[in-house]
Structure 1
Amino acid sequence: MNQNIFEKNLEKYADPEMYDHLYDKYQKDLGIILKWANQDHPILELACGTGRLTIPMAQRGFQMVGVDLHEGMLERARRKAEQTEVMIEFMQQDCTNLNLPVRSSLAFMTGNSFQHFLTNEAQDALFQSVRRHLVDGGIFIYDTRNPVLKELSAVDEYEEKYVDKNGDRVIESHRDVYDHLTQILDCRTHRRIYRDNTLIAEEQDGISLRYSFPQEMERLVAANGFEIVQVYGDWDENELHAESISMVYICRVKTE
């Protein structure tokens, strides 16, 4: 898999400290992960970012390996792990071509990172790569946004406001356009940063996100040597339905 495909889609992660400011306190996905975790093998977190889940897992005594493509995110994760006094092996690798010195009973990928795998080829390569690093009967947990068609059918333009890590006021203008043929949502952001009501900076970035449908997902999982154990509509373990926010998959490696 060409790593450049993913590197071109990492603009949103250019500032790991800001990423933490926005997302570090989110823990809804931790509960399900802990239900499937055990001490028998190292646990793999894929697209681990700044260690939002890797670190609290290690604090609970699990042997953790965190993998991400973005070295800046990994550097911050290593600093946070050191400050928290936990030992975690963080490695920079492409998740479609993992080469880790461990096999695990559990691998997980949250934060909708699955949507970075934009093509059928990339999705297949991800599953095959994960499967090679799981023991027989090993579990792979991941989430992805549910493709609610009424939300994707029209160009979506909206604003968000928040205070950044420096205490400055930020207004973001978003424009999201969905391509029904590729199933990819192209998200563009124009960011204006104000300090004491004075505009001090403007930034732009973007990200492309692949949407997959439930029937499509069932076929993908089965074709790559897994079976679906459970699927939820969110991290609160609610049933998946047409209007669900997410699709949370718990998959098991098929045994012969």
Structure 2
Amino acid sequence: MSESVEQWQHFFGEDYIRFSELILNTERTKNEVENLTRILGSSTGIRILDLGCGQGRIAVPLAQKGYSIVGYDQSEVLLNEARERAKRENVEVEFKRGDIRHLHYDERFHAVINIGTAFGYGGDEQRDRQALEHVGMALYPGGKFIIDTENRDKKTQRFQSEIKEEFYGISMTSRREFSEETGLWKEYFSWCSGEKQQTASFVLRLYSPDEMVGILLQAGFKVEGIYGGLDCREWTSESSRMVIIARK
């Protein structure tokens, strides 16, 4: 199957919004936002870049809490949904389209957040390190970077090469591949939308904690902690998530 940019963009399309919110549901989002506010502290005068903001599920509630938010994503479909949500909730959020590797801000933010496995789509460590360097440039000195992603140990421990699931009555088949050597997780989807057969795919670079800390250090960050969730619980190999808090 093709792993082109077009396939990647198709994955983060209109059907993704419906499917993803069975997992990234209202309760999970509420908990994540509450935990983020504890990490971020007071909203007064604080500018935050939500990197890989998707449909605005984190950016909009943070704006409701008084933070000044810029949401940044490469999917125009998701950004349009995010703009509609901000409008419905009557909050101001600046949404911008762009590739994380081409991020160009100069010491503009007090914090950058990257929530819900929105990192690693560059496909290799060099590109991901380049992206982190741009994140560093976007932060004020001492600014905070919060990244929430998959715990590779746990995700690969329960690896299944094929899964069939039901989403809103739609049957979806997912085929997966993982390489221990490269850390690449490849996933291919097929489902029916109306009478049309749909396909999509993505390639994600999964990192171990040591690898993630390594590229953060190379990008100029100081790592403050590695956790098993945004509630800052202790990270273990059984944690479903890996959250790293670092400073410029």
1:206 aligned onto 2:201 = yes
SS at structure 1 position matched to 2:132: helix
From the superposition, tell whether residues 7 and 46 of structure 1 become closer, same or farther in structure 2 (CA, over 3 Å): farther
SS at structure 2 position matched to 1:122: helix
Question: Which position in structure 2 is the counterpart of 1:245?
Answer: 240
Question: Which position in structure 2 is the counterpart of 1:231?
Answer: 226
Is 1:113–1:144's contact at 8 Å kept on the other side of the alignment?
yes
Is 1:142–1:249's contact at 8 Å kept on the other side of the alignment?
yes
CA distance in 2, matches of 1:153, 1:62: 38
From the superposition, tell whether residues 67 and 232 of structure 1 become closer, same or farther in structure 2 (CA, over 3 Å): same
Question: Which position in structure 1 is the counterpart of 2:69?
Answer: 64
Is 1:190–1:202's contact at 8 Å kept on the other side of the alignment?
yes
1:88 aligned onto 2:93 = yes
Output aligned runs, 1:105-120, within 5 Å: 105-120=110-125
Identity rate, percent: 25
Structure 1 unmatched runs, 5+: 164-168, 195-199
SS at structure 1 position matched to 2:234: coil
1:133 aligned onto 2:138 = yes
Question: Which position in structure 1 is the counterpart of 2:45?
Answer: 40
User: Number of aligned pairs?
Assistant: 240
SS at structure 1 position matched to 2:79: helix
Q: CA deviation at 1:228?
A: 1.3
CA distance in 1, matches of 2:180, 2:122: 16
Structure 2 unmatched runs, 5+: none
Which letter maps to 2:245?
A: I
Q: CA deviation at 1:210?
A: 0.9
Which letter maps to 2:12?
A: Y
Is 1:20–1:50's contact at 8 Å kept on the other side of the alignment?
no
Which letter maps to 1:181?
A: E
Q: Normalised by the size of structure 1, how large is the TM-score?
A: 0.84
Q: Normalised by the size of structure 2, how large is the TM-score?
A: 0.87
Q: CA deviation at 1:143?
A: 1.5
